Amino acid sequence: MTTSHQKNPPLPPLLAPHFRLDEQDSLTLLTGVNAANANWLVIRFLYAALGGASASTGHAGRRRPVVGNPEANGVDTLGNLDGEEYGARGRGGAVNVVLVSWLREWEFWRTECKRAVGIDLTQMKAQGRLAFVDGLSELFLPDVNVEDSASRSSPSNTSPRSSKDRSTPAPAGTSATPQSRSLSTRNESSNTSQTLQSPTLRHIQDTIERALDSLYHDEAPRKILLIFDHPSMLLQTTTDSPITSQDLSSFILDLRLHPSVHSTVVSLPADTPLLKAAAQSANATADKLAGVTSSSSGMEASKLTPLEVENAATTVQTAMLSRCVMSCRALETGWASDVSGVLRITRGGAGFASERDDNAINDLGRADGEESKGDSEEGEWLYHIASDSSVSVWSRGSSAGTR
């Protein structure tokens, strides 16, 4: 008899190859919308990197695709483990993770990871495997009172804030911490995580670099997976000195090139209003190539706000630099009780460049059946997130028994 745990393993077998640690300096883009966010993908990357996959399978190897119809083989669609690099382990050993989140506090990630995949992030931090950078709790706090100011000026605080570094308070509608939050709660959060206290990119980069340095040890170096959760929020909330898409892209690139960072995952929103500028630009380019003159294109472009333009530019630029793009969206037909959304996985701009490089290499020396680094399957799958946060993934048209 098949148990629910066997049906819904922490790492969906159909997607397992996409969660292995990619090549040096690679970038993976995750996108989601309000009705189908990408948090569950971030959690699976944490699970794969921090050693969860080996705990659930009993091995730490890479699985090879099965020849033929994968659904006919049930949940084990990836064949036998070959003992080589899989997930975030293998030749380089276990991987450390730095998670930087602008939309979710530590408590959300700790609770969801424990419930969904059984990973204890608190224990991972205690073991020096994980660093969390809180970009939400104190990023846009209003001016503090005298007692709080004295606390922040103490020698134990390594990142004191000054009035010069602080931007204006977050506009209405953003997730700023309420002023009524107690001092003891804020201090507790700061003691357990690195905390961003200013929206300036210099301060943010310095804080993240401290988190990276805290996980890197010369005597036992480990690869570090750097995860950004919704960095585009900085485009939407900085008003005194607006951050542009070019600023944000350069900031991410600088951290990707940090000596201790092996690969990077970026999660961005992809709701239609935020990508409207990119869609209009593509339509205008298509009209131009077709020799069609449309006055409506210019009128629509003139109505775009700077925020729409910068958000679209950030998403497009990141996709062009990514090796893989994993996109979540809602069903076109509306809500369904047994389907949470659609996951589409494609190669990014860097993925196509890598494919050209692979084609130029002589493959005669590759072992029979061995995968190249770019062999992860592209495609589209349906997924369902259960009440316990477990996820089942299946191809369109397959029966429920093969999820």
**Angle at which helices 201-215 and 245-256 cross, to 10°:** 20
Could you give the CA distance from residue 45 to residue 171 in angstroms, rounded to a whole number? 32
Which one-letter DSSP state was computed for residue 181?
A: S
CB environment 43-67: b (16+ within 10 A), e (fewer): bbbbbbbbbbbbeebeebbbbbeee
**Which residues in 290-316 are b (16+ Cβ under 10 Å) and which e?**
eeeeeeebeebeeeeeeebbbbbbbbb
Residue 265 has pLDDT above 80, yes or no: yes
Position 396 scores a pLDDT of: 83
Q: What is the pLDDT of residue 116?
A: 94
Write out pLDDT tens, residues 218-246: 666 788 999 999 999 999 887 677 899 99
From 149-153, 192-196, 281-285, the region with the lowest mean pLDDT: 149-153
pLDDT band of 403, cuts 50, 70, 90: low
The predicted-structure confidence for 298-336, as pLDDT tens digits, reads as follows: 545 558 888 888 999 999 999 999 999 999 999 988 888
Helix, coil or strand: residue 5? helix
The Cα 131–Cα 225 span in angstroms is 11
d(CA 268, CA 252): 13
- Looking at the chain, how many residues does it have? 403
Check pLDDT > 60 for residue 392: yes
User: Of all residues in the chain, what percent carry a pLDDT higher than 70?
Assistant: 60
Q: Where are the beta strands (DSSP E) in 313-378?
A: 324-329, 341-347
- Mean pLDDT to the nearest integer, 342-360: 74
* Joined tokens for residue 117: 């995949």
Predicted confidence at residue 55, as pLDDT, reads 38
pTM here is 0.73
Q: Of 62-71, 93-102, 350-359, 389-398, where does mean pLDDT reach its minimum?
A: 62-71
Contact 308, 273 (CB under 8 A): yes
Is the Cβ–Cβ distance between 101 and 133 less than 8 Å? yes
Tell me the longest C-alpha to C-alpha distance in the chain.
71
Task: pLDDT band for 162, please (50, 70, 90 cuts).
Answer: very low
